[in-house]
Structure 1
Amino acid sequence: MKNTFLIVLSLMILMSCNTTKHTMQTKDFDRNTMPQPGPAPKVKLGKPQTFTLDNGLKVLVVENHKLPRVRVSLTLDNTPVYEGDKAGVSSLLSGLFGTGTQSMSKDDFNEKIDYLGARVWFGSQSAGMRSLSKFFPEVFGLMADGVLNPKFTQEEFDKERDKAIENVKSGEKSVGQVSNRVERFLAYGSKHPYGEFTTIEHLKRLNLSDVINFYNTYYKPNNAYLVVTGDVTLEEVKTLVNKYFKAWSAKDLPDYTLPKTSNVAQTQINFIDMPEASQTQVDFVSTAHLTMGDPDYPAVLVANHIYGGDFNSHLNMNLREAHGFTYGARSSFRANKYVSMLQAGAKVRNQVVDSVVVEMVKELNRMYTEPVTEEELKTVKASYSGNFVMNVEKPETVARYALNIEKNNLPADFYETFLERINAVTAEDVMRVINKYYNKDNTRIIITSKGSEVIPGLEKLGYPIYYFDKYGNPASKPKLPEAVSSDVTPEMVIDKYLTAIGGKDKLNAVRTMSYTYETKMQGMKVQINFKMETPNKLYQETVVMGQVYGKMVFNGNTGYMEQMGAKKDLPQDQVESLKKRQSLFEELTLLKSGKTLKVEAIVPVKGSETYKLAIDDDGKVSYKYFDTKSGLLVKEEKSEKGPDGKEMLVPTEYSDYKAVDGVLMPFKVSSQAMGQTMEMMMKDLKINPSLPKSIFQ
């Protein structure tokens, strides 16, 4: 103990001495004046060793012997390919690579890679590998075999096409995916490789011969770069490259002149209607002919960083921090040697879309007219400097930079002088490039949302609005909500619904129910089993791939939930909500529930007119939509807390009504969870089955 005390005392004395010395040395400094930034760090990048085969394949080797590992990337720097009627063929090629070679089956190929602890990957214009250096020759040979001697079979083609079709289907209800698709289509044009997209119809028309033809036409060494990084020598790489790639034959590639892109004549709103969207994607989009080699490139990087490229950017501080409109707002600048895109956007609540547009325009105008501060410039430059210096320590970064210099025809010292050029950017430079490239008067404001909710607000902003469908085709203006006649009351709407599904007497006679919903999540089969007894007893069990994942039980007064063996009581607010239920069919008692009901409007839902019934439960509002003709409930929106703790409306759709024992029930339910749409199909519905009392205990 005494020794410990002496050690601590000695350390305290030493710290005191150092503090005193530091104070004496700095007492004459003015702490109110920010120190001047030092010069940009001197960056000295290692130069890759290069050689070129007769077939045009250029090889770059970056030796680094610190760790016994090697990484290889093959890049085909062809002019972007317009696939036209064959759209989707390149993605199918990517999926078919690695499914075996002419000399090795798919299983043998993958087992060999796994045995060597390596990784090999392929794309329609690329390939690569990663392994320990002692296995490098063998893994490199496997990668080369996969590239030069792939085996494409009908069986694997069918699997990949089916998978691609499912991916397209799953994206049809995603606001983000639809927005991105139409955004590129409008910005680049339908005949530009960057603007085209793949549909289910495209995929269904493709066959195996299309994939083989695409491979034979475009997978050539003419414009190819092979980058090898890690614990290798130049001579070793030369030997292996000549062994495997020397016979790879070059071939003239088809000519295709890329269409010229242009921005709109005046800023306009391009609206894509998604009637079931609970959130909105807002993007400001324009294109520019600005490459990495352009003298303005560093200034545009700095400008974008301040405008929306960082958490502390103008856009994010406004839309997220000041107004709470979104979880995050960002801008991006995608430099490209053919055509670059400038984009700013955010995913926001439907209720604030018009306000978001106003604030985004305000921030862009601010960048146009107000110089950025010296503090903002210093912060951005420090960020670039820190990230850049850390990254150049990695050999793969050196290799990537070398490849960029080759592909973009950049000066040999482009990256060595990068920080100098970033640090030379002034506030005047930022304002100049914003005015030159950000096109505030020629921007597409692309909004993907629920038209019936957001169009009235957008029309007040004064911008021309053009409407498009989910595939970029011109469309008519979505039908907006209509005023409802005063003789349409909540009582009338609810009575019509109850009559449509069987009538009050029949529904009141239902004392118990059991049914199962089936769906798929991440490729796994999920079953949700329900058992209910009037007025509010509930047993709910979730089964994933045949195994019970969790359950929830409520006996009318108390309840619990159990997940993966862990059991806990239901939250009190959920208990109180369940207690309020007085029937297996909520609408039977809704008029006497004490909630405030109002038929707000006639609203289109999936092409049909519906009565929108607002249900106010002590300030918490939800909505039900009843078809005006059939009376059936086709949709509801419940108010639930989102990840940020704020209330948000979560939609659920009902369709495919079928009668079971005289009661009409929806056999298809679509709901949204975690940004994904989940479709559930009802199975095994039983009316008034005998249920053991024990299941509710």
Structure 2
Amino acid sequence: MKKTILIASLFLTVIMQAQDRPQPKPGPAPVINIGKPQTFELKNGLKVMVVENNKLPRVSYNLTIDNAPYAEGDKKGVADLASSMIGNGTKKMSKDAFNEEIDFLGANIGFSSNGAYASGLSKYSGRILELMADGALNSVFTQEELDKEKAKLVEGLKNQEKSVEAVAARVEDVLVFGKNHPNGEYITEETIKNVSLADVLNEYNSHFVPANAYLVVIGDVKFKDVKKSVEKLFSSWKKAVAPAVSYTDPKDVQYTQINFVDMPNAVQSQISLVNVTNLKMTDPDYFAVLLANQVLGGDFNSYLNMNLREAHGWTYGARSGIRGNKYVGKFTASTQVRNAVTDSAVVEFFKEIKKIRTEKVADDMLKNVKAGYVGNFVMQIQKPGTVARYALLTQTQGLPADFYENYIKNINAVTADDILRVSKKYFLEDKTRVVITGKASDVLPGLESLKMPIFYFDKFGNPTEKPVAKKSVPAGVTTTTVLDNYIKAVGGDKAVKAVKTILVTSSGTVQGIPVVMTKKASASNKFLEEVTGMGQTLAKTVFDGTKGYESGQGQKQDFDAEKTTAMKFYANAFPELALANTTGAQLSGIESINGKDAYVVKAGKFSFFYDVATGLKVAETEDLEVQGQKFTKGTTFEDYKDVKGVKVPYKTVVNVGIEIELIASDVKINEGVTDADFQ
């Protein structure tokens, strides 16, 4: 089934437009006046901070329980389950009644195992706080709700198993922190099954306690009223301290190495260079490190992004990140690139890290980075949520009372020498763990040429053997036999040729936006694909058999000669009918797709994968270029169902750096399509 560049182009356009926004221009440093909280503490240990701000008739409450991270062991997921169950009904109100009143008040209230938040109009401030306190302190936990939340968690895990990004993130943390560290352990279906209702209750009772709890209140309220309400609602919270924890801090590898995870379905490689950090917000290096990271990979004009995206066109974004925290963390520099340039991208990462460690940053760049950082800080400080976060961080990170008032001054005081000094300390090149998750058959030969030690791991961070190279094709199997078997598998030559038109309606989400995709194709190589969302057409592709165009976001582009030629072959619902006769189409080998062997047929920029056992097409890839950026789009096909004698995949997953899952709700053969659709 046809999948054009439509969704890929739509997604990449959104990303690129966000990255192309101009940076704030330098201007005079503004005076920062952050509302100072009035404070009090309850006998149970709850610390309360109130910032009166009557600019808007709104109020926000943020309850944070600042416990140290802790490992959950073979019951990993118990905190997640507790988070999802807190507030789902209380001893005073049913779940439905609770949610209905929140909606009636126009409020926003949420809970987790680490606290709660609430916001709304200040005229309802008292009731909003009552609801938040009730949900936090009087939650009812039932087996029925636990079973529902377990099922959701398990389903989420299943959806992640084919996600290169999710697997890469999991393995990175396992390797950097270790499986027994709070940041390194991960949830599995087995650990979820181990969690009982008693475990959830114990988690809540032992960790949802006031000893390290902070309630930050900001908005159109009066301190005395807040104090009275908090004392009334939270004094009954039983005084307790969370269990003490201890664990070994992670260490860097002894020498730079590649840690490789094979994902045969990957159309792009996920690359992450990692080293351990121990940066505190109170460290003298803190502000210099923030700006050094902006120069290296935290800004659109950073070294990494200008190299990998702008100079080479390998990715839509390369970035780096580091945080100040009272616990040991990590520095990462990461991107996604197409398989063919994975090894080259690794070389360029080290080139830019070496540059920032050995060369002073240019004055103009440092000036612009400071201006961007200051501009963002000033914009964020206008938000009540930011003020609340800063008040909380001042307490939990042990910051000076004037930390944020002096923030801009400290940013502007950073010099090029400071950037050079801290880069040598925090951005390592000789003890770097390079975690790469990608398709071994495509990228390993290039990585091996880098002469770095390579260690291999499975999708859960367990050491494993080097992936087996592409399997050879058995004697007698040819391009023609593979394609013939596919036609037989989907219904046979007669049934397939009887398909004159096909209409498929599918739904999914793109960056959280619900979308509907309608596809129409005819046996005469006419094609329509339209994506709608938010009540409008987001993108559209039309081909009438001889010419076509793509449109989206108010722009329209006619097909060039290359695209027209490709569409003449590929517009048909079953291009396999013509593929055997296509010049250059050839059977290249056997590869693993989602754990199953598949024959690979290559034709120009396309690769088609057919299950060795069933004959069905399970995936395809296409090399594309969108807005000057080259990448590979991958599509997998699952859940084949019979429709009027032919099998059609009802589930497709498009991979363009993120995975977009589309589920068919309606498939029609030889109905619902007319020539007028392709105009």
Tell me, yes or no, whether TM beats 0.5.
Answer: yes
Structure 1: gaps spanning 5 or more residues: 1-36
Secondary structure (helix, strand or coil) at the match of 2:400 reads: coil
Contact 1:554 1:696 in 2 (8 A): no
**Letter aligned with residue 117 of structure 2:** G
- Pick the aligned partner of 2:601 from 606, 613, 619: 613
* CA distance 1:234–1:519, change in 2 (3 Å): closer
- Pick the aligned partner of 1:160 from 141, 144, 149: 149
CA RMSD of aligned residues (A): 4.1
Distance 1:549 1:66 in 2: 38
CA displacement 1:390-441 (0-9 Å, x = unmatched): 5445555444323212101222332233333333322222222111122211
* CA distance 1:132–1:532, change in 2 (3 Å): closer
Task: Compare relative contact order (CA 8 Å, sep 6+) and give the higher one, 1 or 2.
Answer: 2
Distance 1:311 1:584 in 2: 41
Question: What aligned pairs does 1:324-339 form with structure 2 within 5 A after superposition?
Answer: 324-339=313-328
* CA distance 1:118–1:531, change in 2 (3 Å): closer
* CA distance 1:655–1:44, change in 2 (3 Å): closer
> Share of identical aligned residues, percent?
45
Q: Partner residue of 2:587?
A: 599
* CA distance 1:433–1:166, change in 2 (3 Å): same
Distance 2:508 2:132 in 1: 35
- Pick the aligned partner of 2:659 from 673, 676, 685: 676
* CA distance 1:374–1:664, change in 2 (3 Å): same
* CA distance 1:240–1:507, change in 2 (3 Å): closer
Secondary structure (helix, strand or coil) at the match of 1:277 reads: coil
Aligned-residue offset at 1:221: 0.4
Q: Max radius of gyration: which structure?
A: 1
Aligned-residue offset at 1:64: 2.0
Distance 2:573 2:159 in 1: 32
TM-score, normalising length from structure 1? 0.81
Contact 1:121 1:127 in 2 (8 A): yes
Q: Partner residue of 1:14?
A: none
Question: What aligned pairs does 1:17-96 form with structure 2 within 5 A after superposition?
Answer: 43=32, 45-96=34-85
Contact 1:493 1:626 in 2 (8 A): yes
- Pick the aligned partner of 1:454 from 423, 434, 443: 443
Aligned-residue offset at 1:111: 2.4
Question: What aligned pairs does 1:266-345 form with structure 2 within 5 A after superposition?
Answer: 266-345=255-334
Whether 1:264 aligns to 2:253 is yes
Contact 2:305 2:317 in 1 (8 A): yes
Q: Partner residue of 2:635?
A: 652
Contact 2:137 2:237 in 1 (8 A): yes
Q: Partner residue of 1:126?
A: 115
**Letter aligned with residue 336 of structure 2:** K
CA displacement 1:428-467 (0-9 Å, x = unmatched): 2222211112221111111111121111111111111112
- Pick the aligned partner of 1:251 from 229, 240, 243: 240
Distance 1:73 1:58 in 2: 12
**Letter aligned with residue 105 of structure 1:** S
Whether 1:423 aligns to 2:406 is no
Q: Partner residue of 2:3?
A: none
* CA distance 1:520–1:416, change in 2 (3 Å): closer
Distance 2:374 2:643 in 1: 69
Secondary structure (helix, strand or coil) at the match of 1:474 reads: coil
Whether 1:637 aligns to 2:621 is yes
- Pick the aligned partner of 2:360 from 364, 371, 376: 371
Distance 2:319 2:217 in 1: 34
Aligned-residue offset at 1:356: 0.8
* CA distance 1:134–1:509, change in 2 (3 Å): closer
Secondary structure (helix, strand or coil) at the match of 2:309 reads: helix
Secondary structure (helix, strand or coil) at the match of 1:343 reads: strand
* CA distance 1:645–1:158, change in 2 (3 Å): farther
Question: What aligned pairs does 1:680-691 form with structure 2 within 5 A after superposition?
Answer: 680=663
Q: Partner residue of 1:10?
A: none
* CA distance 1:561–1:155, change in 2 (3 Å): farther
Q: Partner residue of 2:608?
A: 624
Aligned-residue offset at 1:162: 2.4
Distance 1:257 1:530 in 2: 56
**Letter aligned with residue 454 of structure 2:** I
Secondary structure (helix, strand or coil) at the match of 1:672 reads: strand
Deviates more, 1:349-358 or 1:251-260: 251-260
Q: Partner residue of 1:481?
A: 470
Distance 1:419 1:500 in 2: 66
Secondary structure (helix, strand or coil) at the match of 2:317 reads: strand
The alignment of Structure 1 onto Structure 2 pairs a total of residues equal to 647
Whether 1:99 aligns to 2:88 is yes
CA displacement 1:498-537 (0-9 Å, x = unmatched): 5666765x46874657686877659999998988775557
* CA distance 1:111–1:334, change in 2 (3 Å): same
